[in-house]
Structure 1
């Protein structure tokens, strides 16, 4: 169903990085989970820092990390060009106790920006899945999202993080069309196992079609 994720180099952490689970006592603020998706189609590999500690190194497009467990609260998240001190994203989002989040490095490198999605990791109803769409393809324009040729989201602009749709598990035909047209930019089939929540991220670019074309990145939430 999903293409194999590229290998992600995860830097070994020590208890000196006190925000990671297991490095502190039991009296802290609780934990949150955070994963990173490199979705800037013309950007180089990146390094990811949390509170100035390197947590992911040399991450290529379009890699998604697993969930990192960090203490709940506000943390400084920086994304640098790999191996440099050049910071392209520097944000400090508040992360709630027991919350799960996906941070996306989106847009072209000249205008790179963060998208932060709150992930639903609770179990869907029996026999069902939850599915949402994130539009992170910078030059695709507004799009319609079709499931089995039925429009489920219309006129979706870049940067949109949809709500979750609850549908039965199974195999679905997904299309991303230019809004109001039958021009299909992305077309794929997805088999979604009941009991899971999924995020479909529209990534890639018309400008980088030869190397990083428009496509859907399917993530399992939780």
Structure 2
């Protein structure tokens, strides 16, 4: 079971001036942590202090509020202590003020554990729109993400991401090995909600046959009402098709493994 120590402890021991449990200010950032290294239950340290214990693979934390600054992050085997051997370590990880960040502990393409911070796009979406973001954090080759049989996101590699906004609603897509027609996932229909950024992480190892996915949803991105109806209505034929083509395949990474992801992750409250 994952245990999160009181956030104020980290603030004091790190020499920070604001307690992490305090309300967010302009210089604070929202930080989530995803454990995407298969087969390892770990503890996570920030600036020498434990912030997560018995952290299991596939778990995505609730958002934490952290003051802007640089953090030394260390991941050890569960119970090894702060001086234990690092499974993964990264120093001077920048946390930008006001940003929404997800730090992912994952395997690089060659299978070595690494830490990658991603800044989440929380810009307002237009009325009737949803955002989809796909992140390749698996020890696996490049993939092409397709919509309606056409490549939408080509040659997505670890640890890159692709994203777009599109009309809220249902899309159908599949995923193939890059440059081929070999379907790895899908096809599947996925419903994307207006005013959300659905972030899909492909993680695990293709060689070990344990590829999986985690899903993070950030809501509250609605822009000011402008009278534009939700869904596909009101979009021009050309614009709507282009947006569907770009985003549909990415959505499949969520839909194709949604059942497994639901069992393996905690709900994320944006």
Q: So what's the TM-score if we normalise by structure 2? A: 0.69
Question: What's the counterpart of residue 72 of structure 1?
Answer: 68
- Kept in 2, the 8 Å contact 1:20–1:69? The answer is no
Matched, 1:88 2:61: no
Higher helix share: 2
Question: What's the counterpart of residue 171 of structure 2?
Answer: 172
Q: How does 1:1-222 map onto structure 2 within 5 Å?
A: 9-13=2-6, 15-18=8-11, 19=16, 22=19, 30-41=27-38, 43-84=39-80, 85-91=84-90, 92-107=92-107, 111-138=112-139, 140-162=140-162, 164-187=163-186, 188-209=188-209, 212=210, 214-221=211-218, 222=270
- Kept in 1, the 8 Å contact 2:7–2:21? The answer is no
Distance 1:200 1:23 in 2: 27
Structure 2 counterpart SS, 1:125: coil
Shift of 1:16: 3.4
- Kept in 2, the 8 Å contact 1:145–1:154? The answer is yes
The C-alpha deviation readout for 1:110-155, integer Å capped at 9, x for no partner, is 61111211101233111111112111121x2111012343321111
The C-alpha deviation readout for 1:27-53, integer Å capped at 9, x for no partner, is x98211111111122x41111111122
Give the direction of change, closer, same or farther, for the CA distance of 1:14–1:159 in structure 2 (3 Å limit).
closer
| Structure 1: segments with no counterpart, 5+ residues | 1-7
Structure 2 counterpart SS, 1:55: strand
- Kept in 2, the 8 Å contact 1:123–1:196? The answer is no
- Kept in 1, the 8 Å contact 2:20–2:67? The answer is no
Distance 2:20 2:216 in 1: 28
Distance 1:88 1:134 in 2: 22
Shift of 1:22: 3.9
Q: CA RMSD in A?
A: 2.6
Which has the larger displacement, 16-25 or 143-152? 16-25
Q: Max radius of gyration: which structure?
A: 2
Q: So what's the TM-score if we normalise by structure 1? A: 0.82
Which has the larger displacement, 101-110 or 128-137? 101-110
- Kept in 2, the 8 Å contact 1:21–1:31? The answer is no
Structure 1 counterpart SS, 2:161: coil
Shift of 1:88: 1.8
Distance 1:125 1:141 in 2: 34
- Kept in 1, the 8 Å contact 2:111–2:205? The answer is no
Question: What's the counterpart of residue 248 of structure 2?
Answer: none
| Structure 2: segments with no counterpart, 5+ residues | 219-269
Give the direction of change, closer, same or farther, for the CA distance of 1:87–1:14 in structure 2 (3 Å limit).
same
Distance 1:175 1:20 in 2: 48
